[in-house]
Chains A and B, each alone.
Chain A
């Protein structure tokens, strides 16, 4: 019995309940600052300057609801791209909207734009491509943001892109919408699946990442009509694979190489670093795959999952049927139905000593741990192609609304082909 218990604890986290709940103070501002490295902050955490408006802060349930909007949108965008080649041209069969939802856009970085530079906090998103910020004179509408709105007329380095420039036509793949034209200025429009959108002038400007890392003539959207779930932030930093993403625009400088560390909400700051500083020890690599139908997403291959040291019985075809993307803007990992079912069954077995409670939005495996000081939680490991074994941090296993509602932080897709 002792040996069994020892083995069980080896494959489990034993933690104080209080450590599962969001911290109320920013515990550190250190982060891993390197060359071309930006500080990453959780939008709703205690280290965020954007989270002071507590009255308008979203609830965890709202964050999860927004997250589902984003996932629905990504699914429909990929399904739309997939169907496009198999259908004859017929406008009636095409959805009227595409593009991914911002969801709760949890993490942001602060960059400098213009000359002199103005600091702007932008949601960073590997699931979209166009970088944009709200711009004066806000012809139609600008939502409230923390920093002063960027005013291109006060910058010595801003210029508009003309409608006839080949750069203007690149907007089609980056936004999913054909560019417009106002007088001679190229117009972009990007609409997200949750009805959020930004419309404005397509321009170029000096972008300052760090004091020593400057990108001249960076192409971005200067938003004149911006509405949706962006509140507090100044816009979005697109890190997808399209030509207009920051990653592609800086390919000569950073070689399409970037890395980040997302802090857990309670633990201070992380980083977003461009370029290979050669200091990433202990990193294991899995092939990065490209889907020709949806080339701007980062696809990877999950091969297996273990819960509490037990390898789940999941056929590899379950993962390969629809594939998997990695996305910095989606909060909760979505698994194929069969994979999630297997995970949930094993997790519930290993947690059978704790009382279950109501679901939290999309999270259906929740526990009331209010009567416990410490709990023992099964470890979860993901295995990726290339023999890459990733042990999730405890913050990646549980999502806690309160001590009385602590949930398994995974959800299943509704369809195996999603």
Chain B
């Protein structure tokens, strides 16, 4: 598999809606 790693996830808002079957990316929320 390819793997989307944590360096590339830095500063993005990553949302796991597991029950809803979707994963979200949002603009940086932790800076």
Name the A residues within 8 Å of B6 (CB-CB): 106-107, 262, 327-331
Residues from 145 to 180 in A contacting B, C-beta threshold 8 Å: none
| Of A261, A276, A388, A409, the contact of B30 (CB 8 Å cutoff) | A261
Asked if A270 CB lies within 8 Å of chain B CBs, one says yes
Bound-complex Cα distance A388 to B22 (A): 12
Residues from 70 to 91 in A contacting B, C-beta threshold 8 Å: 71, 74-75, 78
Bound-complex Cα distance A298 to B16 (A): 9
Asked if A25 CB lies within 8 Å of chain B CBs, one says no
Name the B residues within 8 Å of A107 (CB-CB): 6
Name the A residues within 8 Å of B13 (CB-CB): 259-261, 280, 283
Instruction: Decide if B18 touches A326 in the complex (CB within 8 Å).
Output: no
Residues from 1 to 31 in B contacting A, C-beta threshold 8 Å: 1-31
| Of B2, B11, B15, B27, the contact of A395 (CB 8 Å cutoff) | B11
Bound-complex Cα distance A40 to B6 (A): 13
Interface size of A as a range = 35 or more
Bound-complex Cα distance A335 to B5 (A): 10
Asked if A336 CB lies within 8 Å of chain B CBs, one says yes
Name the B residues within 8 Å of A126 (CB-CB): 16
Which chain B residue has the least Cβ–Cβ distance from A79? B1
Instruction: Decide if A284 touches B26 in the complex (CB within 8 Å).
Output: yes
Report B31 CB to chain A, min CB distance, Å. Answer: 5
Instruction: Decide if B10 touches A259 in the complex (CB within 8 Å).
Output: no
Instruction: Decide if A326 touches B17 in the complex (CB within 8 Å).
Output: no
Given A283-B15, A396-B7, A399-B7, also A300-B30 (CB < 8 A): no
Bound-complex Cα distance A393 to B8 (A): 7
Asked if A50 CB lies within 8 Å of chain B CBs, one says no
Asked if A324 CB lies within 8 Å of chain B CBs, one says yes
Given A74-B3, A263-B11, also A300-B23 (CB < 8 A): yes
Instruction: Decide if B12 touches A257 in the complex (CB within 8 Å).
Output: no
Instruction: Decide if A261 touches B7 in the complex (CB within 8 Å).
Output: no
Name the B residues within 8 Å of A106 (CB-CB): 6
Name the B residues within 8 Å of A413 (CB-CB): 2
Name the A residues within 8 Å of B21 (CB-CB): 287-288
Name the B residues within 8 Å of A258 (CB-CB): 15-16
Instruction: Decide if B2 touches A247 in the complex (CB within 8 Å).
Output: no
Name the A residues within 8 Å of B30 (CB-CB): 31-32, 40, 261-263, 267-271
Instruction: Decide if A393 touches B22 in the complex (CB within 8 Å).
Output: no
| Of A31, A329, A390, the contact of B12 (CB 8 Å cutoff) | A390
Chain A to chain B contacts (Cβ below 8 Å), 9 pairs: A255-B19, A280-B24, A282-B27, A283-B25, A286-B23, A331-B7, A332-B7, A339-B2, A409-B8
Extra A-B contacts (4), CB below 8 Å, given A287-B22, A382-B8, A388-B25: A263-B30, A267-B30, A268-B30, A288-B16
Q: Which residues of B contact A (CB under 8 A)?
A: 1-31
Q: Which residues of A contact B (CB under 8 A)?
A: 31-32, 40, 67, 71, 74-75, 78, 106-107, 126, 241, 247, 251, 255-264, 267-271, 276, 280-288, 297-300, 302, 319, 322-336, 339, 382, 384, 386, 388, 390, 392-393, 395-396, 399, 409-410, 413, 418
Closest CB pairs A-B (n = 4): A261-B30, A283-B26, A270-B30, A256-B18
